[in-house]
Amino acid sequence: MPPQKPETIDDYIAGFPEDVQKILQQVRSAIREIAPAAVETISYGIPTFNLNDTYLVYFAGFKNHISIYPAPVGVEAFKKDFEGYKTGRGTVQFPIGKPMPLALIRKITRYRLKENARKAENNNGKAIKKK
């Protein structure tokens, strides 16, 4: 993680070695492709995409992996997709040094878009803000 708290996703990505920067930009682009209306920001010190006044997807770089949050870890539809990757409570880790599964990142983002829209609909068109 970058040594100082970044103010933008560009600042965050710039804090990593060049090879990791390229991977982080690929992840960012994959999310942006599926959620072009999402707003980029930094939350909890990591890149975040917000939509409908709440978070959509976070991602973060580490020494040996890239994490995506929240990932639908307990969702049956993703069970096979996550085989071979380390998962935890709402996160999936993709190792650096292997091809980044951009199609899976897009799939996660599509899933999160549906969840986000459902939440906004259930709250009369206004999602509950996450802190």
CATH number reported for the structural domain that contains residue 23 in this entry: 3.90.1150.200
Q: What is the pTM of this model?
A: 0.87
Q: How many domains does the chain have?
A: 1
pLDDT tens, 3-41? 578 999 999 999 999 999 999 999 999 999 999 999 999
Alpha-helical (H) ranges within 17-101 are 18-34
The alpha carbon of residue 96 and the mean position of all alpha carbons in its chain are separated, in whole angstroms, by 16
66 in a structural domain: yes
Does pLDDT of 131 surpass 60?
no
Burial of 101 (0-12, 13-18, 19+ CB in 10 A): buried
Pair 84, 73: CB distance under 8 Å: no
105 in a structural domain: yes
Domain of 26 in residue numbering reads as 9-119
127 in a structural domain: no
3 in a structural domain: no
125 in a structural domain: no
First vs last Cα of the chain: how many Å apart? 21
16 in a structural domain: yes
Specify the pLDDT at position 127: 46
